[in-house]
A and B are shown apart, each in its own frame.
Chain A
Amino acid sequence: MAAADTEYRRQQSLPLPGSSSALYNNLSVLRPPVPQPQRFSAVHGNTLSLLSAAAGTGTGLGHRQLPAPQPGPGIGAALITQAAWCVLPSRVLLVLTSQKGIQMYEADGSVLVYWHALDAPEHPPEQAVFARGISAAGEHFICVGTSSGPVLVFDIPPKGTNVTVSEVLEHHGAAVTDIAAEQGQAPDGAGDLVSADDAGSLCVWSTGEGFRLVSRVPACGCTCSSVVLWQGMVAAGFGNGQIRLYDAVSGRLRAQVNAHARWINALDLAPETGKLLSGAEDSFVHVWRLSRSLDTDDVEIHHCHTECVPDTQICGARFCDPEGDSFAVTGYDLSEIFRYSRT
């Protein structure tokens, strides 16, 4: 692989109205082919900062801030745990998770479409209660994880606000951390959705009218903070700095990478090329390339590129295009989004 093929250069950064909090995958990018201005979002405590950037020039066009639910008069708003755009064939929604519940907005954050409150039986509860882990699933579902383990499946109408909970998936015994949909072509029977939890267990699901558990990777005791799914391969980032690849059909381990020196907070995948992006608290961002031969079933992962963001614990990292030619990074306490591009 020629070096020139993987050379990324720092681009103009985007200023954020508030610094990014230390959360898993605390950067979301609404990227092409969705026909809109490119959008970025990052969580700052109890608000979500939304940025629109003009394609090409990439300068910030404007921003908006969305609040988290306010638990009671006089108390500050609940903390937001994650935010992500969910791209369905018929519509795009911006989903926020917090300690109080799940908010679904239109993609530009202008209109609240749906609100789902989480039950908190005791006050104060013995355990923290929150939602975390957001993904579009299949043709018309959005899945959101919860701190007690269940994954809520929401049925999303093509338009309007008649969102309903169609199913609750009960296979995680620890707080859900991340959920991801297949971004490539799934092999037969491989499932098209993966969820991960605090204890390191992974569940691969087949979506549809009635979700079905395809395979399960048992808990290893080490938190899996981020997960992606591509061509029937699950790539998972762990608290011990490892990236592991699993076969989505069987749940078997196919590759193990000693990738980072500290906790991995972010993974992303470029569906057109199979590039994998990882960001961790060691201040490094790595670009990898996954490959899978459907004939021989060989699974491979190569290291392509390293970027250091000095003195920054990376908490969000996303590709900005489907080929993986550009990516964006956020870090704890940092009031800007760093961008890198192969040009």
Chain B
Amino acid sequence: MKGPLPAKTAPPDWLLGYQATAAAVVPAVAMSVRTLPLLFLNLGGEMLYILDQRLRAQSIPGEKARKVMNDIITTMFNKKFMEELFKPQELYSKKALRTVYDRLAHASIMRLNQASMDKLYDLMTMAFKYQVLLCPRPRDILLVTFNHLDAIKDFIYDSPGIMNQVDETFRRLIDTYNCLSDGEFQLIRQTLLIFFQDMHIRVSIFLKDKVQNSNGRFVLPTSGPVPWGTEVPGLIRMFNHDGDEVKRTEFTTPGNYVTPQREGSFGLYGDRVLKLGTNMYSISRPVETHMSGSSKNLASHAKENTVPNPLAKEELNFLARLLGGLEIKNPSGSDTGFRLNLFTTDEEEEHAALTRPEELSYKVINIEATQEPGRREELSCILGQLEAEEPRPESSGKGEELLALMDAL
């Protein structure tokens, strides 16, 4: 049955002759235009946690490690960049955002190759997905962000200028977000969840802590404190027309909840109470780096962005705008660069580069492994190579095309 279309309100072209398309989530448009700063800062915070841990694990000399952290934090919190970031705007694809972090990770004398960068980005995104999913109230995404910024301030070594930059961003966050309603925060959270939808990469630190299932889904606790402002389920109160309580009954649920002790601080300083967004890596819980299982043998549940035109003009404009604020310094003559590996060995890294499926696939990223013998030699070997610049990978991925374009800007 075909009905004529109304003459007055002829539908736009996109509605005529549509075809059923592959079910790929392409959040080129965000439901909330206030989402990007939170996405960027939290992913950036996770990146710094991982880099800090890998710099230690790889025994990078303290001076160099501090320089790398300071350089990246300086770039990340650059005033012009922050101004651009906090403008109300849409979200773009994971690939586009990935490019920003690629640039950021290379803002100092440290270099990462494609496989390590892929892995870094996977770890960052899964960690923040977990935090967004689990945060008790939508508003608590702000506490997660504050946890990241609190930790970043501890990374800054002896540089009041950089400290001021971070505090400036803190104030900007408080000004922009503290006044938003619960409904607006839920819209931000829903936008972030759409951004992370269908990503089910298994991360071994999560698997080990039993917060992620073997199918890649995160575990939702049905016990512990309820969110601030929520009552423990179980009570029904009924009132008459005058507002007097006339009946009170109870019901039981399988959940085992308790009342929360107190609300976290939404100020510049203070106890955030919430632990989500704090550094989950430590010397005893390293970011390690052992790929287990063949990614190709496991069914893919991840439907990454596979639309034909993943980087549209708007995305490039967005990137140009953002990256315009990122001041990338090339290592100067006196600085000797080094390469950071997110894998235990170079062979693993190479293997990962070769076996990474085109679509982001279902795989295990093992973040725990013990220090292996012979590793110091391997590291000193890497450090001995002292490349000034890691050559860009030769693959024909869309990211590289974009990078080439960005270089030309």
Q: Among residues 54 to 111 in chain A, which have CB atoms less than 8 Å away from a CB atom of chain B?
A: 64-67, 69-79, 81, 99, 103, 106, 110-111
Inter-subunit contact A74/B313 (CB<8 Å):
yes
B198-218 contact mask (Cβ, 8 Å, vs A): 1 or 0: 101000000000000100011
Residues in A neighbouring B238, C-beta threshold 8 A: 254-255, 299-301
- Report which residue of B181, B219, B226, B314 has the largest number of chain A beta carbons within 10 angstroms of its beta carbon: B181
Inter-subunit contact A19/B197 (CB<8 Å):
yes
Inter-subunit contact B31/A263 (CB<8 Å):
no
Inter-subunit contact B222/A99 (CB<8 Å):
no
Determine the distance from Cα of A127 to Cα of B176 in the docked complex, in whole angstroms: 13
Chain A minimum-CB-distance residue to B301: A335
> How distant is B259 from chain A, measured CB to nearest CB, in Å?
11
> How distant is B166 from chain A, measured CB to nearest CB, in Å?
26
Determine the distance from Cα of A111 to Cα of B5 in the docked complex, in whole angstroms: 9
- Report which residue of A19, A73, A163, A311 has the largest number of chain B beta carbons within 10 angstroms of its beta carbon: A311
User: A204-212, A236-244, A269-277, A322-330: which lies at the B interface?
Assistant: A236-244
Residues in B neighbouring A160, C-beta threshold 8 A: 3-4
A127-156 contact mask (Cβ, 8 Å, vs B): 1 or 0: 110100000000000000000000000000
Residues in A neighbouring B198, C-beta threshold 8 A: 19, 333
Given contacts A106-B3, A332-B193, contact A76 B29 (CB under 8 A): yes
Contact of A79 among B194, B218, B236, B313 (CB under 8 A): B194
Inter-subunit contact B27/A162 (CB<8 Å):
no
Determine the distance from Cα of A286 to Cα of B190 in the docked complex, in whole angstroms: 23
Inter-subunit contact B3/A199 (CB<8 Å):
no
For residue B182, CB closer than 8 A to chain A, the reply is yes
Determine the distance from Cα of A197 to Cα of B257 in the docked complex, in whole angstroms: 28
For residue B298, CB closer than 8 A to chain A, the reply is no
> How distant is A249 from chain B, measured CB to nearest CB, in Å?
10
**Secondary structure dominating the interface of B:** loop
Residues in A neighbouring B9, C-beta threshold 8 A: 114-117
Chain B minimum-CB-distance residue to A46: B26
Q: Sort chain B's interface into a size bin.
A: 35 or more
Q: How many A-B residue pairs have CB under 8 A?
A: 243
Contact of B253 among A67, A161, A284 (CB under 8 A): A284
Contact of B12 among A44, A114, A115 (CB under 8 A): A115
Residues in A neighbouring B408, C-beta threshold 8 A: none
Q: Among residues 17 to 74 in chain B, which have CB atoms less than 8 Å away from a CB atom of chain A?
A: 18, 20-21, 23-33
Q: Among residues 256 to 284 in chain B, which have CB atoms less than 8 Å away from a CB atom of chain A?
A: 257
A286-326 contact mask (Cβ, 8 Å, vs B): 1 or 0: 10000000000101111100101011110000000000000
For residue A47, CB closer than 8 A to chain B, the reply is yes
Chain A minimum-CB-distance residue to B2: A111
Chain B minimum-CB-distance residue to A63: B20
Determine the distance from Cα of A46 to Cα of B30 in the docked complex, in whole angstroms: 11
Q: Top 4 A-B pairs ranked by shortest CB distance?
A: A198-B183, A76-B26, A18-B23, A74-B312
What residues of chain B have their CB less than 8 Å away from a CB belonging to chain A? 1-6, 9, 11-12, 14-15, 18, 20-21, 23-33, 87-90, 93, 133, 136-138, 181-184, 186-187, 189-191, 193-194, 197-198, 200, 213, 217-220, 222, 226-227, 229-241, 243, 247, 249, 251, 253-255, 257, 303, 307, 309, 312-314
What residues of chain A have their CB less than 8 Å away from a CB belonging to chain B? 17-19, 21-23, 44-47, 49, 64-67, 69-79, 81, 99, 103, 106, 110-117, 124-128, 130, 160-163, 174-175, 177, 197-199, 221-223, 225, 239-242, 247, 250, 252-263, 282-284, 286, 297, 299-303, 306, 308, 310-313, 332-333
14 A-B contacts, Cβ less than 8 Å apart? A21-B194, A67-B14, A79-B30, A115-B11, A128-B32, A198-B181, A199-B181, A239-B183, A241-B230, A261-B222, A263-B137, A282-B222, A308-B254, A311-B213
